[in-house]
Amino acid sequence: MQNIYFPLDWFFITLIFFSGAYCMIVSKNIIKLLIGFEIISKASIIAIITSGYLISNINLAQSIIIVMILVEAVVIATGLALVVKSYRINKTIDITKLSNMKG
Amino acid sequence: MILYVLIYLVIIVGVVGAVISKKLLNSAIMLAIASIGISLLLFGYSAPWAAVFELSVCAGLITVLFISAVSLVKNEEDTTKEKQIKYSIFPLIMSAVVILSSIFIPEYFEKLSSYANTTQNGNELKIGDIIWSIRGIDVIAQIMLLAGGVFAIKHIFSYVKKQEE
Amino acid sequence: MNLINSTPTGIMMIPLIIPLICAILILFISEKTRYVREFFSVIVTAVSLWAAIKLFKIGGDNLELVFSWFSSHKLHFKLDYLSMFLLFSVSMFSFLISIYSISIPNKGNPKIFYFLLLLTQVASSGVVLSDNLLLMLFFWESMVIFLYIFIYISSNSQQTKSTALKTFLINGIADISMMIGIAMIYYITSTLSISEISKTKIIMTGWGTLSFFLILIGTLTKAGAFPFHTWIPQAALYSNASFMAYIPAAIDKLLGIYFLARISLHIFQINLSVQIILMIIASITIIAAVMMALIQTDYKRLLSYHAVSQTGYMILGISTLNPIGIAGGLFHMINHATYKSCLFMTAGSVERQTQINDISKLGGLFWKMPATAICFIISAAAISGIAPLNGYFSKELVYKGTLNTGYTIFFYAAEIGSVLTLASFLKLGHSVFFGKLNDNLKGTKEAPLTILLPMIALSCICIIFGFGAHLPLSKLIQPSIVSIGYIPHTELSGFHLDNLFLISITIIIFSLTLHISGFSIYGKPYKTSDHIHYAPIIKNIYQLAEKGYFDLYEIFKRIFKSLANILFKIDRFFDIVIDKIPSNISIIFSSQISYIHRGIYNYYMLAIFIFVVVYLMYLGGIKW
C-alpha cells in the first residue's frame, strides 16, 4: 500500500489535533481534560509515522513511538491518581473550584 | 488510498464522539474505538511493532484506567454541570476548520515534504538495533519514568486505610 | 620538611619548637596539681636558654637553615650576630620571668598564663631568627592576640577588659600598616628575603618613603614611642606585675628596636630629612613621657611612663647613623630591659607583700624588705645614668653619637630627660622605702625566694655590665654592628674622664636640688614633684593630658561617633534609591499586569494553543 499522499494525512492530523485542543480548552471536568490530552497524543503519533515514512526510516519512527506511548500511559495513570485523590479531599472534580492557593 | 480515508473516517468519528458525549463512560469507549483505528493505520504503514504496542496499551490499558477512575468519582452528576451548548456547537466549529484547512494545508505540506531528504540505508536497519544500541538511552529513560510513576502512585494512595476510618 | 644543613644548625630550631610543644602540653595538665605547670615551664625556658648559649659558642657568622614548604616557598631562618644576641636576651628574660611568676597571686589562670608565656617566647624567637619578611610578619602579628589574652585574664573588672580592647586595637592597626608596608617592599624589590634586600638597599623614593613610614608606625607602636604608647600606662594600672615585667619592659622593646635597626640600617638607606624626623619623635617621647611620669602616684604607672621615655633614647641612638650612636642604642636596649624588668619585679614584690599600689600610703619599707630595696636602688641608679653602672655607659654612647651629628638641640632634650628621670626616682624611692613607717605596714615580711632570685640576678647583670662594660660591648654589640655594616673606628668602652662625665655629675646635682626643694616646701615625700605639677603654664598642659586630649585612642573614639552618624545618614539615602524606588515602580507595573491573569485555566490553554499554531505556521513560511 504505497503511494500515500502526504498532505492528506496532515489534513486529518490537523482535524484531530483541533478536536483535542478544543476539548482541553472548553471542559471544566478534569477527566475530560485528560481525554483531550490523549487525543492530542494520538495525533502526534500519526505525525511521527508519516514523517518516518517520508524519510523511509520507519524503524526509527517505531522506536520513538514506543517511547511516546509509554510516556503517555504513565502520565495518564499519574494524572488520574491525582484526580481521584483530589476528589477525596475536595469532593469535586471541577477545575474552577480548586482555588485555595489563589493570590 | 480509499482504505486509508476510511480508516481516517473511523478515527474522526471516534474522536468527535469522545468530545461531544455527555457521560464520561461513553467518551472513554469512543477513545478506545479511535485507538483501534490508529492501530490499523500503523499496520498499514508497515510498522508492526508500534501497532501492537498501540493496541495493547492505548486501546486496552488506558481504557481500563479511565473506566476505573470514572467509577471512583461516581457521584459527579451533582458536582459538575457543564453547559452543554459548548459541546453542541462543536461540529459547527469543526466544519469551519475543515473548510479553512482544506484551503491552506495541502500546499503548505507539499512545500514541506519537498524538504525531506531520504536516508540511504534506512530500511536496512533492524528495529532491535535501533532500540538497544543507537537509542539505548531511551531504554534507561523509560525505566526511570516507570519507576517514578509507580512510586508516585504508591505514595498518593498510601493513606487509604486511615482515610476510610 | 627537609633540613638542608646538618645538626649543628638544628639547634636553632630548639627555641622555636620545644616551647611550642610544651605550651600545648601544659594545657593538658590537670587543674588539681599545684606547682607542676610552673616547674615545667621553668625547665623548658632553661632548655631554650641553654640552646641560645650553645649557639653563641658555635659562633660563626651566618648560620642558615632552610625549610621548603609546599615545595615552592622556602622558609629561611638565618642567624647573624644581631639575631644571636637578641635570641639570647629573649630566652634569658623568659627564663627569669617564669621563675618570678611562680608566686605572683593575681596573674589569672596559671594554665593559660604559662601557655601564653611559652607561646610569646616562640613568637619572639621566630621574629628574631627569620630571614624572610613574610615569616617575620607572621610571628610578629601572632603576638598581638597573646597580649590581649594576657591583660584580659588578669582580673574580672570592666576596666581590665576595656584596657585589653584598647591594647588590641592599637597594636592590631599598627600591624596592619606594617603589613601594607611590607607588601610595598615586595612591590619595589620583588623579593622578600632580608639578606637579599640588604645587598642593595632601598633608597628613599616615593614608594620607598611611604613604605618606610608605614613600617615605622608598626615598629614604634611595638616599642612604645610617643603617639602610640597610651596602652602601657593603662595596662600598668589594671594588670599584674609579671606581665608588665615581661612584655612592655623587655620583649616589646627588644623586638621593636631590633626591627627598627633592621629597617633603618639594613634594608633602607635613610636620607637626612627622615633622620631628623626620627630624632624629633625620639626627643618628644623622652620629654613628654618623663614629664607625665613625674606627677604619678601609682607605683607601676610611674614605672611604665619611664619605660616609654627610655624608648626615646634608643630611637635617638639608632637614628644618629654613626656607629657610636648605634652601639649606644643597642646597648641601651639590653640595659633598659634589664633594669626595667628589675624595677617592675620590685613593684610586684611590694604589691604582693603589702597589697598597696599607691605610694602615698607606703613608706619606710627599707628595713622590712631589704633585698627588694637594694635591688631597687641599684636599678634606679642604673636608669638615671649614675657613673659606674650600665646605664651610664649606654647613655654616654648615645650622647656622643648625638653630638657627632651636629644637631645639639637633641642633646639638650636628652639631658633634660635625664634630670627629670633621676628626680622622679628620688621621689619614688623616698616615698616607698625611706621615710616614716606607717602603722598598718608593721607586719610586712620579705618576699619569698622565687621572687627575689630573678631580681638579684638582674641587678648583678646591671653591675657586671657596668663595671665590665667592655664585655658585652665587644662580644655582643660590636659584632652586631659589624654584621649590619657600620664599623666603629674608636674604642667603644672604657671610662673616659671627659666633659660628658662632668655633665652627668651636674645632672645629679640638679635633680637632688629639685627633690630637696620640693621636700622642703611640702614636707611629704610623695609630693615632692608638686612644685612642677602646679607651675603656671605646665599645670594646664597636665590637665589636658589627664583628660586624654593627647591620647590618639581617645581622639579617635570621639571622631568615630560623628563619623558613624554621617555614614548612617548616607546609608538611609542609598536605601531609598536602591530599595524603595525600584520596588514602587514594579508594584505599579504588576498591578496592571495582574488584570490579565485571572487564574482561570481555560484562558491559559487557549492562549497556548493559539501561540503554537501561529508559531508553526510562521516557521513553515505560510502565506496569508
pLDDT in tens, C136-163: 898 999 999 999 999 988 888 888 898 8
Say what the pLDDT of residue A45 is: 94
**Cα–Cα distance for residue pair C251/C94, rounded to 1 Å:** 9
Contact A99 C601 (CB under 8 A): no
More confident residue, C487 or B15: B15
Beta bridge mates, C75: C67
Query: In A, residues 58-87, which contact B (CB 8 Å cutoff)?
Result: 58-67, 69-74, 76-78, 80-85, 87
Banded pLDDT at B82 (limits 50, 70, 90): low
Is the pLDDT at C59 greater than 70, yes or no? no
Banded pLDDT at A36 (limits 50, 70, 90): very high
For residue B54, give the nearest of A56, A69, A71 by CB distance: A69
More confident residue, B17 or C489: B17
More confident residue, A76 or C105: A76
For residue C605, give the nearest of A24, A96, A99 by CB distance: A24
C-alpha C242 chain-centroid distance: 15
Q: Is C622 on the interface with B (CB under 8 A)?
A: yes
Interface test with C, best of B86, B104, B113, B115 (most C CBs within 10 A): B104
For residue C609, give the nearest of A21, A28, A99 by CB distance: A21
**Cα–Cα distance for residue pair C182/C187, rounded to 1 Å:** 9
Residues 6+ apart with CB under 8 A from C403: C411
Is the pLDDT at B165 greater than 50, yes or no? no
Banded pLDDT at B114 (limits 50, 70, 90): confident
Averaged over B38-42, what is the pLDDT?
94
Contact present, C154 and C126 (Cβ < 8 Å): no
Contact present, C204 and C184 (Cβ < 8 Å): no
Is the pLDDT at C198 greater than 80, yes or no? no
Q: How far is CA C413 from CA C296, C312, C419, C535, in A?
A: 21, 10, 10, 20
Helix count (H) and strand count (E) of chain A?
Answer: 3, 0
Burial class (CB in 10 A: 0-12, 13-18, 19+), A14: buried
CA distance B60 to chain C (A): 29
Say what the pLDDT of residue C1 is: 39
Contact A21 C600 (CB under 8 A): no
Contact C622 B108 (CB under 8 A): yes
For residue C599, give the nearest of A21, A28, A102 by CB distance: A102
Q: What CATH number has the domain bearing residue A34?
A: 1.10.287.3510
Is the pLDDT at C490 greater than 90, yes or no? no
Q: Quick one: cell of C360?
A: 602615698
Query: What's the pLDDT tens digit per position in C210-254?
Result: 889 999 999 999 988 888 888 898 888 888 888 888 888 889 889
More confident residue, C423 or A100: C423
Which residue from C46, C73, C70, C63 is spatially nearest to C129, judged by alpha carbons?
C63
Banded pLDDT at C364 (limits 50, 70, 90): confident
Which residue from C229, C291, C233 is spatially nearest to C416, judged by alpha carbons?
C291
Q: Is C621 on the interface with B (CB under 8 A)?
A: yes
Say what the pLDDT of residue C322 is: 83
Q: Nearest residue on chain B to A43, judged by CA atoms?
A: B38
CA distance B73 to chain C (A): 21
Q: Nearest residue on chain A to B114, judged by CA atoms?
A: A54
Contact B104 C622 (CB under 8 A): yes
Banded pLDDT at A71 (limits 50, 70, 90): very high
Contact A26 C602 (CB under 8 A): yes
Query: In C, residues 43-82, which contact B (CB 8 Å cutoff)?
Result: none
Banded pLDDT at C292 (limits 50, 70, 90): confident
**Cα–Cα distance for residue pair C570/C612, rounded to 1 Å:** 52
**Cα–Cα distance for residue pair C300/C58, rounded to 1 Å:** 40
**Cβ count near B116 (within 10 Å):** 12
Name which of A85-99, B76-90, C429-443 the model is least confident about. B76-90
Residue A103 lies in a domain: no
Q: Nearest residue on chain B to C621, judged by CA atoms?
A: B108
Determine which helix (DSSP H) or strand (DSSP E) holds C76, and give its type and residue range. strand C73-79
**Cα–Cα distance for residue pair C389/C379, rounded to 1 Å:** 9
Q: What are phi and psi of A13, to 5 degrees?
A: -60, -40
Which residues of chain A have a CB within 8 Å of the CB of C602? 25-26, 28
Name which of C82-91, C114-123, C372-381 the model is least confident about. C82-91
Say what the pLDDT of residue C61 is: 59
What's the structural domain count of chain A?
A: 1
More confident residue, C200 or C560: C560
SS3 of residue C491 by DSSP: coil
Percent of chain B topping pLDDT 70? 87
Say what the pLDDT of residue C79 is: 72
Contact B105 A5 (CB under 8 A): no
Q: Is C43 on the interface with A (CB under 8 A)?
A: no
Q: What is the ipTM metric for this complex?
A: 0.89
Q: 603617639: which residue's cell?
A: C227
Contact present, C134 and C183 (Cβ < 8 Å): no
Q: Nearest residue on chain B to A29, judged by CA atoms?
A: B80
Contact B149 A6 (CB under 8 A): no
Is the pLDDT at B151 greater than 70, yes or no? yes
**Cα–Cα distance for residue pair C359/C363, rounded to 1 Å:** 8
Q: Is A16 on the interface with B (CB under 8 A)?
A: yes
Is the pLDDT at B81 greater than 80, yes or no? no
**Cα–Cα distance for residue pair B43/C493, rounded to 1 Å:** 119
* Average pLDDT along chain C: 83
Is the pLDDT at B143 greater than 70, yes or no? yes
Query: What's the pLDDT tens digit per position in C498-509?
Result: 777 888 888 888
Beta bridge mates, C298: C358
Q: Nearest residue on chain C to A96, judged by CA atoms?
A: C600
For residue A49, give the nearest of B24, B45, B127 by CB distance: B45
Beta bridge mates, C78: C64
Is the pLDDT at A23 greater than 70, yes or no? yes
Burial class (CB in 10 A: 0-12, 13-18, 19+), A26: buried
Helix count (H) and strand count (E) of chain C?
Answer: 26, 4
Is the pLDDT at C60 greater than 70, yes or no? no
C-alpha C189 chain-centroid distance: 28
**Cα–Cα distance for residue pair B163/B152, rounded to 1 Å:** 18
Which residue from B12, B18, B13, B16 is spatially nearest to B30, judged by alpha carbons?
B18
Averaged over B44-65, what is the pLDDT?
92
Q: Quick one: cell of C121?
A: 617566647
Is the pLDDT at C549 greater than 80, yes or no? no
**Cα–Cα distance for residue pair C347/C61, rounded to 1 Å:** 40
* Average pLDDT along chain B: 84
Residues 6+ apart with CB under 8 A from B24: A29, A31, A32, B66, B70, B76
Determine which helix (DSSP H) or strand (DSSP E) holds C241, and give its type and residue range. helix C241-246
Which residue from C274, C170, C265, C174 is spatially nearest to C214, judged by alpha carbons?
C174
First to last CA, chain A: 57
**Cα–Cα distance for residue pair B116/A18, rounded to 1 Å:** 25
**Cα–Cα distance for residue pair A6/A56, rounded to 1 Å:** 13
Which residue from C342, A55, C607 is spatially nearest to B120, judged by alpha carbons?
A55
Query: In C, residues 579-618, which contact B (CB 8 Å cutoff)?
Result: 617
| Chain B, chain C: beta-carbon pairs less than 8 Å apart | 7
Contact present, C138 and C161 (Cβ < 8 Å): no
First to last CA, chain B: 60
Averaged over A39-45, what is the pLDDT?
94
Say what the pLDDT of residue B39 is: 95
Q: Is C605 on the interface with A (CB under 8 A)?
A: yes
For residue A22, give the nearest of B93, B110, B156 by CB distance: B93
Say what the pLDDT of residue B164 is: 53
Averaged over C96-114, what is the pLDDT?
84
Which residue from C101, C416, C82, C378 is spatially nearest to C240, judged by alpha carbons?
C101
Query: What's the pLDDT tens digit per position in C459-485?
Result: 998 888 888 777 777 777 777 777 777
Contact present, A45 and B119 (Cβ < 8 Å): no
Percent of chain B topping pLDDT 90? 40
Interface test with B, best of A30, A38, A85, A98 (most B CBs within 10 A): A38
Q: Is C620 on the interface with B (CB under 8 A)?
A: yes
Averaged over C29-36, what is the pLDDT?
74
Q: Nearest residue on chain B to A89, judged by CA atoms?
A: B163
**Cβ count near C4 (within 10 Å):** 11
Q: Is A36 on the interface with B (CB under 8 A)?
A: yes
Say what the pLDDT of residue A97 is: 82
Pairing state of beta strands C73-79 and C63-69? antiparallel
More confident residue, C387 or B52: B52
How is C377-401 classified by DSSP, letter by letter? HHHHHHHHT-TTSHHHHHHHHHHHH
Say what the pLDDT of residue C5 is: 42
Q: Which long-range contacts (CB under 8 A, 24 or more apart) does C172-175 make?
A: C172/C144, C174/C217, C174/C218, C174/C220, C174/C221, C174/C222, C174/C228, C175/C140, C175/C141, C175/C144, C175/C218
| Domain housing A55 | 6-97
* Average pLDDT along chain A: 88
Say what the pLDDT of residue C622 is: 64
Query: What's the pLDDT tens digit per position in C81-98?
Result: 778 888 888 888 989 988
Extents of the domains making up chain B: 1-73
Say what the pLDDT of residue C6 is: 43
Residue A102 lies in a domain: no
CA distance A103 to chain B (A): 24
Which residue from A81, A59, A76, A70 is spatially nearest to B141, judged by alpha carbons?
A70
One-letter identity of residue C153: I
**Cα–Cα distance for residue pair C340/C293, rounded to 1 Å:** 14
